Amino acid sequence: MAARPSGPNGFPVQLAALGKDYGHFTALKALDLSVHPGVSLGFLGPNGAGKSTTIKIMTNLIRPTRGQATLFDIDVRRDPIRALSRVGAVIETPEFYGYLSPLETLAYAGRLRGMARKDIRARSEEVLKEVRMGEWAGRRIQEFSKGMKQRLAIAQALLHEPDLLILDEPTSGLDPRGMAEIRDLIKSLTGRGRTVFMSSHLLGEVQEVCDEVALLNHGELLVQGSVRDLSRGSGASTFQATFLAPPSEEDLSTLASTPGVQALKRVGDGAVDFTITGGEAAQAEVLEAMVRRGMRVTSYRPLGSPLEQLYLDRIQESDRI
Ligand X SMILES: Nc1ncnc2c1ncn2[C@@H]1O[C@H](COP(=O)(O)OP(=O)(O)OP(=O)(O)O)[C@@H](O)[C@H]1O
- Selection from 140, 146, 305 nearest residue 239 by Cα: 305
53 or 309: CB nearest ligand X: 53
Contact at 8 Å (CB) between 128 and 135?
no
Q: How far is CA 62 from CA 12, 21, 65, 73, 236, in A?
A: 19, 11, 9, 19, 40
Contact at 8 Å (CB) between 107 and 120?
yes
Pairing of strands 40-44, 212-217: parallel
Q: Where in 277-296 is the site for ligand X (CB under 6 A)? A: none
Q: Which residues here bind Mg ion, judged by CB under 5 A?
A: 51-52
Q: Look at residue 157 and give the partner it binds from Mg ion, ligand X, none, a contact being a CB closer than 5 to 8 Å depending on partner kind.
A: none
27 or 90: CB nearest ligand X: 27
Smallest distance, ligand X to C-beta of residue 319, A: 13
Q: Which of 29, 121, 201, 293 binds ligand X (CB under 6 A)?
A: 201
Contact at 8 Å (CB) between 43 and 34?
no
51 or 123: CB nearest Mg ion: 51
172 or 277: CB nearest ligand X: 172
Smallest distance, ligand X to C-beta of residue 116, A: 36
Q: Where in 4-63 is the site for ligand X (CB under 6 A)? A: 22, 25, 27, 45, 47-53
114-119 contacts, C-beta under 8 A, 24 or more apart: 115/159, 115/160
39 or 91: CB nearest ligand X: 91
- Selection from 130, 128, 150 nearest residue 139 by Cα: 128
Q: Look at residue 41 and give the partner it binds from ligand X, Mg ion, none, a contact being a CB closer than 5 to 8 Å depending on partner kind.
A: none
Is 167 near ligand X (CB under 6 A)? no
Q: Look at residue 50 and give the partner it binds from ligand X, Mg ion, none, a contact being a CB closer than 5 to 8 Å depending on partner kind.
A: ligand X
Contact at 8 Å (CB) between 272 and 265?
yes
51 or 183: CB nearest Mg ion: 51
Smallest distance, Mg ion to C-beta of residue 44, A: 12
Contact at 8 Å (CB) between 71 and 87?
yes
How many angstroms separate the CA atoms of 268 and 120, rounded?
62
51 or 149: CB nearest Mg ion: 51
Residues 6+ apart with CB under 8 A from 137: 101, 102, 103, 124, 125, 128
Q: Look at residue 283 and give the partner it binds from Mg ion, ligand X, none, a contact being a CB closer than 5 to 8 Å depending on partner kind.
A: none
Q: Look at residue 147 and give the partner it binds from ligand X, Mg ion, none, a contact being a CB closer than 5 to 8 Å depending on partner kind.
A: none
Smallest distance, Mg ion to C-beta of residue 62, A: 13
Q: How far is CA 214 from CA 40, 48, 83, 192, in A?
A: 11, 15, 22, 22
Contact at 8 Å (CB) between 286 and 278?
no
Smallest distance, ligand X to C-beta of residue 243, A: 40
22 or 97: CB nearest ligand X: 22
Q: Look at residue 282 and give the partner it binds from Mg ion, ligand X, none, a contact being a CB closer than 5 to 8 Å depending on partner kind.
A: none
Half-sphere exposure of 80 (CA within 13 A, CB side): 9
Size of the site for ligand X (CB under 6 A): 12
Residues of this chain that interact with ligand X (CB under 6 A) are: 22, 25, 27, 45, 47-53, 201
